[in-house]
Chains A and B, each alone.
Chain A
Amino acid sequence: MSTKQKVPVTILTGFLGSGKTTLLNRILSEEHGKKIAVIENEYGEVGIDQGLVINADEEVFEMSNGCICCTVRGDLIRVLGNLMKRRDKFDYVLVETTGLADPGPVAQTFFMDDEIRDEFSLDGIVTLVDAAHIEQQLGRSDESSEQVAFADVLVLNKTDLVSDESLDNLESRLRDMNRMARVIRSKQADVSIDTVLNLSAFDLDQVLQRRPTFLEPEYPFEWTGVFTLEEGRYELTLEEGPDPTMSLVLLLDQGKDETSLNSGAESCVRLYAEPEQPLEPGNIVPVGKHVSLQLQSSGTKSFPIDVDKARNIGLFTQHTAEEFSLKITKVKNSTTEDNNSDQNFSEISPAAERVWVAEHEHDDEVGSIAIERVGDVDPEKLNRWLSRLLSEKGVDIFRTKGFISYEGESRRIVFQGVHMLFTAQPDKEWGNEPRRNQLVFIGRNLDEAEMIREFDKCLV
């Protein structure tokens, strides 16, 4: 093995009109200091403005053994084989596929071909989704479901053409299909470069470093409001609602954009995992703590919030603000403010809001199955089960990711798979971390209950 750095490759999929070319152009024109080579399909929507662009014509080659996971993209092998010889010209590769392409053979090329495997590493698969049309496409074609299923990142594009409510529903539908992917919203493919490049999605260790749990969490809160506040005291008020208590986390300096909301949500998932502290009305809401607002008394309940200087705060609440008519009001300080100012107790509207949609009925053929269990696994049993599963269902299993705790192994075992191609490698020491297992399968018509039963039989 040569010690040369492998060149990372991002695969960009999505239906015609989803905005792939716009995104490509953005990436190529942005100052990121990378030299990117683009392999475009022959039927590219429009030409790419700059950069090293090579046309390829999506030649999918099956092998004589008929095995689906040996199917590769012959044109990619030729083009990448030639690109290897021009290493000085680029340090990153983007492969664009047509809307009708199955991402499987593209991904498999990086595992199946010895020469490509030595020189390039598959960094991640990004799928662009046209928010206005994906619903029809999902109903009509297997390709679009597969492109969603294979994705490490789903860019929900053209959000300006769709109502927020439909977006939320669409996002939760996509999340149901693929729980591994990060969902990012954009209007004109205006996503930051680091959401699509250097994902290291096939390097689980890195993924886990960035996100301790790589599953897109099902958030334990339904609503986030970001409020722009001045220095001073505010009141958080709630009316009668459906529950006698409600969990809440208050974060300081919460940004209003999608990325900040997502990262705020990530940290709140962890805070929500900590035991809640009951908070009776009249008590100040603490910062960065999981509290349970006690709402048993009738009428309006009020909790003070103290702000030390002008800043944005984020409230992550178990239920939506509507359900309790939740409000934030500025408490008028009668000694310093003159009476002609705004009304007392002026209500502050949120500068940004986000509803995290709760689970709902899943009716797509393509879906995610997540298995999370503490404890150790018997390696032999697990191997037998996985081999059988992948040989029987490999065609319908698009991606597999996860880590396993083997009995007697001090290191975590990391799994990665595309269809039947599967790698399991020991990775970092468990150390003092509680030993647990997390496996995700994304596929078509998978029997979740049965798979979990089978997995449980492998536990020691």
Chain B
Amino acid sequence: MSGIEAFSPKGMLHEGWSTQVDDYAIVCGWALEGKTFLVGDVAGGLYAFEGKSGKLIWQVKDTHKGGLLAMSIHPDGNTFATAGQDGNVYIWESQEGKSTKNLELGKGWVEHIKWSQDGKFLAVVFTKYVYVFDEKGQEHWKSEEHPSTVSAIAWSNSNELATACYGQVTFFDVVSDNVNQKLEWRGSLVSMVLSPDGDIVACGSQDNSVHFWRRSTDEDSEMTGYPGKPSHLAFDQTGTVLATGGSDRVTVWSFQGNGPEGTVPGELMLHTEPISCLAFSHSGMLLASGARDGSVFSWFLQKDGQGDPVGGAFVGNLVSQIAWHPDDSALAAINANGGITVWEFKVRSKTTPQ
């Protein structure tokens, strides 16, 4: 890394704990109401740490032959699912790391899995197909073949699933097996996020733009001019602002009034290399961002998309994912070197002279 000096956590990020896993840490999340922090590495290692202390509770090695690709923690936090290059999905219980179910989809990668908000369904992307399983692991629904590999999924409500692939976003009712809506755009969609009310669909596109649709009015717009692919997108809990990567700054579009069309986005500039992950807190307008240079920042955003940094830290390697504790009292970051860092997030009660 050139020209970057490591700095200790500043502002509202306070020393918590840090540890190390065996390989590139690729997925993470909080389970069991935040008591446990789960991490998966690319080689298929799974780890559970005590949320407060960082003590290792359990670990499992070599879970997915060829490599682990995705993890989704059930909304109740008691179980979670992992998927990988072996074409399998495993369901685990969080307490002891015991596998409770193995779903074999075939020869191909399973790149995306996601529990529905009510935890009734698990959506699984297997190449050009999407499957929905119930909590018991029974297949509940399977999509037709998509025109190309499915690149992103999102639940818009407990029965409706959105899928993105080259050229289209499709909304499926997985209970009545209907296609509710199809939004078309000739481009390679690489990421997708829905606003909390489900009306706005935002996709990052291979042509370095963000494309979005309003489902209620069928209007679509395109935000161009990104230097890179916006692979990371995040809506705040109110659906007012959309944070996007695609460069070394976080570009924030505000949906206030008639926006974001015709408005100037907020630009959060402190990272020195492209953004590699984004996450909004569970309440309030707090955004955390991580970048390829190993820097992590937290920001307070205003409704117009402008924001101010409230904390920063440097973890030394590409930040692959960040996760807010369920009560926003901590922020966790995992990195390409297998490093795990958890900070307490709070307003300083008294300033310590640095």
Contact = CB atoms under 8 A, between A and B. Distances in A.
A7 to B, nearest CB: 15
A65 B229 contact: no
Contact of A114 (B148, B187, B274): B274
A72 interface: yes
A339 interface: no
Interface residues of A, number: 25
A334 interface: no
A363 to B, nearest CB: 38
A74 B229 contact: no
B206 A113 contact: yes
Indicate the member of B1, B188, B208, B274 with the most A CB atoms within 10 Å: B188
Interface string A109-142: 0000111000000000000000000000000000
Contacts of A70: 207
A65 B166 contact: no
Interface string B1-40: 1100000000000000000000110100000000000000
A427 B108 CA distance: 44
Interface stretch (A55-63, A219-227, A271-279, A312-320): A55-63
Contact of B185 (A64, A82, A113): A64
Interface in A37-57: 54-55, 57
Contacts of A74: 148-149, 151, 166, 188, 206
B1 A2 contact: yes
A3 B148 contact: no
A72 B23 CA distance: 30
Contacts of A2: 1, 273, 292
Contacts of B166: 59, 61, 74
Contacts of B107: 55
A75 interface: yes
B67 interface: yes
Nearest to B276: A115
Interface in A86-118: 86, 88, 113-115
B228 interface: yes
Contacts of B229: 113-115
Contact of B187 (A3, A64, A75): A64
A457 interface: no
Contacts of B292: 2
Interface string B223-242: 00001110100000000000
A360 interface: no
A64 B228 contact: no
A37 to B, nearest CB: 12
Given A63-B206, A75-B149, A86 B187 contact: no
B228 A115 contact: yes
B285 interface: no
A63 B207 contact: yes
A61 B274 CA distance: 23
B67 A86 contact: yes
A250 B26 CA distance: 62
A114 B206 contact: no
A120 to B, nearest CB: 15
B228 A61 contact: no
A1 B228 CA distance: 14
B323 interface: no
Given A65-B207, A114-B227, A85 B24 contact: yes
A64 B186 contact: yes
A78 B148 CA distance: 12
B206 A86 contact: no
Nearest to B69: A82
Given A74-B148, A74-B166, A61 B206 contact: yes
B86 interface: no
Nearest to B274: A114
Contacts of B205: 64
Contacts of B231: 115
A375 to B, nearest CB: 38
A354 to B, nearest CB: 47
B291 to A, nearest CB: 12
A386 B127 CA distance: 42
Interface of A: 1-3, 54-55, 57, 59, 61-65, 70, 72, 74-75, 77-78, 82, 85-86, 88, 113-115
Interface of B: 1-2, 23-24, 26, 42-43, 67, 69, 85, 107-108, 111, 127, 148-149, 151, 166, 185-188, 205-208, 227-229, 231, 273-274, 292, 336
15 contacts: A2-B1, A2-B292, A57-B127, A59-B166, A61-B148, A61-B188, A63-B186, A63-B187, A64-B186, A64-B205, A74-B206, A78-B111, A113-B229, A114-B227, A115-B229
